[in-house]
Chain A
């Protein structure tokens, strides 16, 4: 079943095109890894999915509904940095995932106590219970990202967007974070888009790996053309591009078929 449908997106900043003719269908529960060279519009694409920016042309629909023009609770996000609130303790960062949606941005009385109990349970599960009362600045990079992911998930989004979430972590911590993310996904099925520079990570975690690149290139003016999706790999099947599979046996990814 198609959850996210991207139709003919163009995005340019002023005269500078970033993305051209980007179309994509993503089924509910899929994990999409997005790779590509620096500056090829991966993060721009993520911001469009988040609805932090509007495309110059084209449309994105989620569940058949066009995006509303600003981020909301259906799409969670984890950035490479600055994802957690520095002025809140680790536990209150999780509580904020529930409290921020209230009129005053926080919970009071019994609701707060209940949210704190749930937050403590979450922290127990993700192995951060021992630092519940510390501030994020006192945590290591890996712990901060674990907290950021748990915070995003506490709002129970249907779609999780990850913008190079493990880019600043050392290789060992990164492996732990992969296992952590895989476990979380088994517990709560959701659709994930992850931008990464690490190809191995992209294929390890993703169901599909899509590649952004420029199909037209003017050596005298590298910024003349935008990027588009050049490859769409089935990461669960030896990394064969769907385009090739379609050519060979006529099969295609279920979500790649036009929505009925």
Chain B
């Protein structure tokens, strides 16, 4: 039977799914990227292979997320697409009536506005990482609380501390100040979750018409505190799909299905030596940083050159 692999390689986590012709999930996995997309994808593919029943054969591979290009070459993907489109396509497959997708990931946050199953608008955070997952996890570390418990602890607070919701640098000094004047940890954590929501709505959500049904996705959607404040502040129901963290991977798998051919892919990448070398090209004043990709010592691709002449 035909099936399709979708991989979403984010800054923090790597997500993979295998779907069949009817978009049913046959295998799925979610692991940490740990700063090494190549190795984490190798690990991910091994896990997926073990879950995959014998009779299924892979007919398409899609990659998305910030390392999509690199992994796309590594796996010979037939589709390489940005995560916004992938998320929208994946979510629409399960929730055809969704009108707003809120997404907060490790390094970026975005909002996608859909009407009648068509993306009509979207926004993404600018270079600033304020109000994203990495901010939450660095604060969790500072308070020495596991990030997984953050949401539960936030729910116990009755009086969330007010925390500046603009910039993480100010938010952090605010946090320290609140702790020093004696706010309880619960209140500070709840305040932090609330500030994430306010920050999101003030930045990416600014001027967007947020209408229900609303779905909240990305790693931060697992945080119950943030979810609670989204519901409270938007005054609308906000859904979290149990597969929400996989939506990007599912979406890209669906897109690869659309473009698939009779070609079959094998997943024996464990032994493939896959290295990247970066160096500065000094042939012109641009000094482009060229990244060359080698598969088993063979040069397969490169990017980064502005003129396109340097391979």
A binds B: no
